[in-house]
Structure 1
């Protein structure tokens, strides 16, 4: 691996760093640029590229400082403006970042990247209507960019336009069938439509294509499984109703055959739903989900206890005191878990 000592000309260092960026060797590019900078501390190209490397390595304060230094030497450097805008936004200086991104757009209105960067920052700041206008201009300039179509899909989802969002993702995938971000974000749309199986398939496929999405995908996979478990929790809660009727009839020595048959049907449906949800993911994924979403354990406990109580209710030969309270407890606990579970997701 070459070092800054091997390449004396700052422009050659910058070109070499670009080749490293293209290879995904961001850390090596950073090391090369950092070694070269003391020899050329005021070179705007070195400062800009060092800030680019720091941005890729999530070193936001350093990226902002070096991008600002590059602009001090060369105020019309569009790339430095974009890098500075992103770094400011990542540091929480949202207004300053948006202003700098807008400045880059006005300085280079015909450059795709300036519009793309501005649209990204507007979207992250929650200004989706404005972001949609800006990303549309980016696509007018370069309609063959799958990243821009994927960004448009995310913005449209933020506006609640799921069908249009899917259309943008499909366009991105027509241009690049293995575009992992689009596959992942389409899976988010499936999750919002409660199509859990399709969502899980999308998240897994995205991770296979781009392992860097692993952490985000795991979080969304956990959310998908929790969404599926909510339905099972609701079914368990409803199973408590015929249990209440059957136990009351048994307690009063009334015929309870019909009520017990309803309990059997409800418990069978509950067990079937639980098995179907369990098969959505391997055991390792479920363990990971429980670690990410500990409240899921309460749902599982409620469901299992409901099944046990349903079996006892059906098989009991006579009144059982504790069963009289079990039905109401199942319903109350189920409602409480459903309400509290949604609070845990906020």
Structure 2
């Protein structure tokens, strides 16, 4: 008599086995378990997303991205699939695509605490700025008792160099869940996101000693950090949104008593922030390149005006392209928004940016019309841009 057949293993059972193996750090075996499940259900989004997380935990971004893309194709409107895709894109250094996915998560689920905190953290990994900070605040407002929301706020604030806010947010996350302090040492993928944010904050802690100060004795922490608003008695107003018409109550327990995001450390984008530093560096590089190109073009006129003009035009175009690419990669927000903030808070640097961009374009003008005047004008503009930067540090 034939033995009874064993019941068929379901995709969820394969996934649970993989989670257990991943918790033991056996990521290769976990991936094999998921692969076995995919042979029976090749388009199962849960298995594909789990496989992507396993590859991320094993630091295999290319494999993670392939699995994440399949998961999104199978279930395009699932938060977890989009989250793992954004992580894989970031780890694959495809920051523009990662930022677009993170922004899409924030826009699609504005009232979901998980979507807001995770989207904020992912956006800050690829293109940090005001949008990420707003989303992190929103996550804290929606879920004030969620330790991970405060952890994400700490990470986003630290990346923006708002260290006082970062320290207070991290302290609050520890108060809500002391296990946050050791989250960077967790194994597996069940708490993979928490581990990811904790590791990011640990990497930033050397600059502001966040971990050391936040994990000090409670009395010392309270004296250094001050009160953190709890339990958020009124709705959070993002810095770029108008305040409500009614005047909120003032008092030691009110959110209004908490300093605004921009007041304790100045605006998010000021001369000490990463965007301004990136613009300053781009101006110096562009101005120096324009000056060198101008000198070389001037020397080439001794042998041939035509060669000089071709050289100047080619180099001018390359400088402009290099400036655009460099700014897009280094400025942690859209370049137009960064320049708008600079016009409001640092006009000399904003002027230097515009002048530094025009200078190589004048080299192109020289290539078209010739004449020593346009060549000299390009060099003068480059020198003015560099002086504006160097004399106003």
Q: TM-score, normalised by structure 2?
A: 0.43
Larger Rg: 1
- Select the structure with the greater relative contact order (CA < 8 A; seq sep ≥ 6): 2
TM-score, normalisation: structure 1: 0.48
